[in-house]
Amino acid sequence: MRISIIGCGQLSRMLALSGWNIGIDFSFLADQGESTACISGLGDVVTIADGMSAQEMYQALGQPDAITIEREAVHVALMKELKNFCPVYPDPDVVWKIQNRHREKTLVKESGLATSPWARIQDKESLADAIETIGGLPVVVKSTEDGYDGHNQWVIDSADQIAAFEEDRKLILKGESQHKHALFEWIVEKKIPFEREISVIGARNVDGSIVSYIPGENVHQSGILHTSIVPAPKLSDVIRAKAESYIATLLKETGYVGVLAIECFVLGDDLIVNELAPRVHNSGHWTMDGADTSQFENHVRAIANLSLGSTKHYGVAGMYNLLGKTLSDDTTPPTELVQPECFLHWYGKTSRLGRKIGHVNVLASSHEELDERLESVRQKWLR
């Protein structure tokens, strides 16, 4: 069997490495100018050329049995064209909904799941009116598209910060004024005083079978995920049950095939959906060493319509993201991080400040022991 992946980053790398173990071949579809360092040697790479048809891409990819994605920022129209030649998972219509925060919020609401109060503003519509509609300050304003790892987001607690956003908005609208057909929009969300963020990851295969992983706790810095800890410490049975029901509901409601991740805020016994990711997710990297079957292998199994693997976890696990510290072409792996119960996953990417260039999974018998081992990894990496 052959699977093709749209995109050539580290998620494609880890998907292919997991699929190789069960005898699946891979090919990759790259945008012009996209780096292919992460997937070097893992399969044929086809670069989209000007005027290239979907049929030509399908043939060049080796007539795959299924096509999937490694990121949300894909051309949905292309996914739909490729769907004429083989199954494409997850379904392009679901990806289209999750690509845009307004459509994503609407999907979550229609599925009966809780979100923070929100409103949408377009072009020059009043931010003040939207803030009043959802109950006043504080709020978080996010671009409906092209927002990730803290980019294109504004935390607003005061009138001064409203004014600062309005200045940014003027520059955005002025800079894009040549695109008269474009509609610029933002989601205004009530800022929630949440206790912590957790994520839950699930998979559904073609025949409708579903599995999910135990929820983990995420810690961010400057909008970028730094660590995930599994199981989330002292997570109540009520929240765990809600998280598992949330992922099952969305997988069923959308007819989703593959791995889906949900990031949620915890407030007492309430669980609020923050974001969805229609792909394998950074907060699930711990599964590579801490679960019977990784999220990557379960994604491959799902789209190949194979039996999904056990999601049982071992003791306590953690993931530490290795973020670039400087601008450098050096791709030498930090092998000093390879220690007992510490597992290095290196992407082979060049470094720039804040770029995800690898991660370390850590196993332990308790949360206290895990904290010590994660701190040791952090100190070694940052020294």
Q: What does residue 341 show for φ and ψ, rounded to 5 degrees? A: 70, 10
The token pair at 148 is 């990730």
Mean pLDDT, to the nearest integer, of 149-178? 86
User: What percent of the chain is predicted at pLDDT more than 90?
Assistant: 93
Q: How far is CA 200 from CA 8, 131, 273, 365, 372, in A?
A: 25, 30, 11, 21, 24
Pure H helices in 40-100? 54-60, 76-82, 92-99
pLDDT in tens, 288-341: 999 999 999 999 999 999 999 999 998 999 999 999 999 999 999 999 999 999
Residue 149: pLDDT band with limits 50, 70, 90: low
> For the chain, what is the total number of helices (H) and then of strands (E)?
11, 17
The token pair at 41 is 């040697």
| pLDDT at position 147 | 67
Mean pLDDT, to the nearest integer, of 17-39? 97
Tell me which amino acid residue 208 is.
Answer: G
DSSP for 253-288, written as a single string: HHT--EEEEEEEEEETTEEEEEEEESS--GGGTTHH
Residue with tokens 């930090």: 334
Residue 351: pLDDT band with limits 50, 70, 90: very high
Decide: 192 and 270 in contact? Cβ < 8 Å: no
Calculated CA dihedral for residues 102, 204, 282, 3, nearest 10 degrees: -110
Decide: 283 and 225 in contact? Cβ < 8 Å: yes
Q: Based on C-alpha coordinates, what's the Rg of the chain?
A: 21
> Which domains can be identified in the chain, with CATH numbers?
2-88 (3.40.50.20), 117-190 (3.30.1490.20), 196-382 (3.30.470.20)
pLDDT at 49 exceeding the cut of 80: yes
Question: Is cis: bond before 64, omega within 30 of 0?
Answer: no
The token pair at 146 is 């092209």
The token pair at 83 is 């769907």
pLDDT at 279 exceeding the cut of 90: yes
pLDDT at 178 exceeding the cut of 60: no
Residue 174: pLDDT band with limits 50, 70, 90: confident
CB atoms within 10 A of CB 202: 28
Classify residue 15 by its DSSP letter. Answer: H
CB atoms within 10 A of CB 269: 9
pLDDT in tens, 67-123: 999 999 999 999 999 999 999 999 999 999 999 999 999 999 999 999 999 999 999
Calculated CA dihedral for residues 369, 373, 379, 382, nearest 10 degrees: -130
Q: How far is CA 312 from CA 88, 200, 213, 258, in A?
A: 28, 14, 7, 18
User: What percent of the chain is predicted at pLDDT more than 70?
Assistant: 97
| pLDDT at position 181 | 42
Q: What is the mean pLDDT of the chain?
A: 95
pLDDT at 48 exceeding the cut of 90: yes
Tell me which amino acid residue 215 is.
Answer: P
Decide: 360 and 230 in contact? Cβ < 8 Å: no
| pLDDT at position 179 | 47
Q: What does residue 346 show for φ and ψ, rounded to 5 degrees? A: -105, 135
pTM for this model (two decimals): 0.95
| pLDDT at position 172 | 87
Residue 251: pLDDT band with limits 50, 70, 90: very high
| pLDDT at position 183 | 64
| pLDDT at position 180 | 46
Distance CA 341, CA 15 (A): 23
Distance CA 311, CA 283 (A): 15
Element (H, E) at 298: helix 295-303
Residue 355: pLDDT band with limits 50, 70, 90: very high
Distance of CA 159 to the CA centre of its chain: 33
The token pair at 14 is 């880890």
Map 185-206 to HEC letters: EEEEEECCCCCEEEEEEEEECC
